[in-house]
């Protein structure tokens, strides 16, 4: 791809895709609202509980589509504004320099400074992560290294998890102090539920208490799970903002072969070394794969 083509995709291409997804989500919301109104009218005519239940269900789906539309609109605006500010620098646009991240729109929707999303496997291992900024990405790396934290608990228990202040350290020793070092004081984590189960967790950092308890974050989590990540317009890559843990698992596999140990033991060794060195897991994994770093 040429620099000009890359510039088009990162600016007009991504913004246009987000606007179109927002429009389609709005149209779906309108259809669900019309269905809800029809059942409400029928309930008023015959009083059957079936119509009341169906009206409530359609209203809930409509709300989810509206939240999806708002997230897409917010991202489209961010990309458009960023592109305008880099109008004369094709190289910066093509390389994605300081490019807006979709998770920043998620954090904004939740009224928080930072947000992160984790997609998990059946064993709760992190398969991919998306974050709004360096602090939230550092928090996700910390949870991955320690195999403990709010996102993991939310996904495992399939319920919301809230903690702040000293309760963070009491609940997750090591994670709590690490979070404080990142300048974060509170978390709200919710499972990303789909009909087939749970695909991950959304973690909000330093959320306003009123929004965390009022259901706003739950609405965003539902929209992410069944409107943004999967569905007719599903994009698990989040416009290029999702990082796969591929390099970490590759390094664990290579180390397992070298040491004659299990992959899980090799992964634990990489996690321990990353924690000890204060480096990201990807950095340690790349050094292992290049032969620069030997682990025993």
Q: What is the DSSP string of 229-257?
A: SSSTT--TTTTTTEEE-HHHHHHHHHHHH
Which of the listed residues 94, 126, 155 is the one where a domain comes to its end? 94
Name residue, tokens 């904004």: 108
Residues 61 and 106 in one domain: no
**Exposed, middle or buried by CB within 10 Å (0-12, 13-18, 19+), for 115?**
buried
Q: Flag whether 76 is in a domain.
A: yes
Residues 108 and 221 in one domain: yes
| pLDDT reading at 201 higher than 80 | yes
Residues 18 and 120 in one domain: no
Q: Flag whether 171 is in a domain.
A: yes
Residues 125 and 224 in one domain: yes
CATH code of residue 153: 3.30.450.40
Q: Flag whether 83 is in a domain.
A: yes
Which of the listed residues 210, 229, 244 is the one where a domain comes to its end? 244
Is residue 202 within 8 Å of residue 105, measured between CB atoms? no
Full residue range of the structural domain in which residue 184 is found: 102-244
Residues 127 and 219 in one domain: yes
Residues 212 and 264 in one domain: no
Is residue 253 within 8 Å of residue 247, measured between CB atoms? no
Least trusted range by pLDDT, from 103-107, 162-166, 257-261: 257-261
Q: Flag whether 296 is in a domain.
A: no
DSSP 296: -
Number of domains present in the structure of the chain: 3
Q: Flag whether 160 is in a domain.
A: yes
- The mean per-residue pLDDT over the stretch 14-37 comes to 96
Residues 23 and 70 in one domain: yes
Residues 164 and 190 in one domain: yes
Which of the listed residues 94, 114, 129 is the one where a domain comes to its end? 94
Pairing between β-strand 197-205 and β-strand 186-194 as defined by DSSP bridges:
antiparallel
Instruction: Render pLDDT for 83-103 as a digit per residue (tens, 0 to 9).
Output: 887 654 454 444 445 789 999
Residues 145 and 200 in one domain: yes
Residues 155 and 33 in one domain: no
Instruction: Render pLDDT for 215-232 as a digit per residue (tens, 0 to 9).
Output: 889 999 999 999 999 988
pLDDT of residue 12: 64
Q: Flag whether 295 is in a domain.
A: no
Q: Flag whether 7 is in a domain.
A: yes
Q: What is the DSSP string of 87-149?
A: TT-HHHHHTTTT---HHHHHHHHTT-SEEEEEEE-TTS-EEEEEESSHHHHHHHHHHHHHT-S
Residues 125 and 12 in one domain: no
Instruction: Render pLDDT for 39-63 as a digit per residue (tens, 0 to 9).
Output: 999 999 999 999 999 999 999 999 9
Say what the pTM is: 0.81
Residues 115 and 154 in one domain: yes
């Amino acid at each position: 791809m040429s620099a000009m083509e890359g510039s088009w995709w990162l600016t007009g291409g991504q913004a246009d895709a987000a606007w179109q997804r927002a429009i389609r989500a709005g149209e779906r919301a309108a259809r669900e609202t019309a269905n809800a109104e029809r059942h409400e009218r029928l309930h008023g005519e015959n009083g059957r509980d079936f119509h009341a239940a169906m009206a409530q269900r359609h209203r809930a789906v409509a709300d989810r589509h509206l939240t999806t539309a708002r997230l897409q609109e917010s991202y489209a605006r961010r990309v458009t504004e960023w592109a305008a500010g880099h109008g004369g620098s094709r190289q910066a646009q093509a390389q994605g320099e300081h490019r807006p991240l979709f998770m920043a729109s998620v954090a904004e929707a939740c009224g928080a400074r930072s947000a992160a999303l984790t997609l998990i496997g059946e064993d709760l291992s992190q398969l991919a992560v998306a974050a709004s900024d360096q602090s939230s990405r550092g928090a996700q790396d910390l949870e991955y290294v320690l195999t403990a934290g709010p996102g993991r608990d939310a996904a495992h228990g399939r319920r919301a998890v809230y903690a702040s202040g000293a309760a963070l350290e009491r609940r997750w020793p090591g994670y709590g102090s690490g979070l404080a070092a990142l300048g974060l004081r509170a978390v709200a984590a919710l499972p990303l539920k789909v009909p087939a189960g749970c695909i991950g967790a959304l973690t909000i950092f330093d959320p306003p208490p009123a929004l965390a308890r009022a259901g706003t974050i739950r609405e965003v989590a539902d929209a992410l799970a069944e409107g943004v990540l999967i569905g007719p317009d599903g994009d698990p890559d989040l416009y290029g903002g999702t990082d796969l843990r591929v390099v970490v698992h590759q390094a664990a596999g290579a180390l397992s072969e070298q040491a004659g140990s299990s992959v899980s033991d090799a992964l634990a060794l990489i996690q321990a070394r990353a924690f000890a060195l204060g480096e990201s897991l990807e950095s340690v994994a790349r050094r292992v794969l290049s032969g620069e770093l030997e682990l025993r």
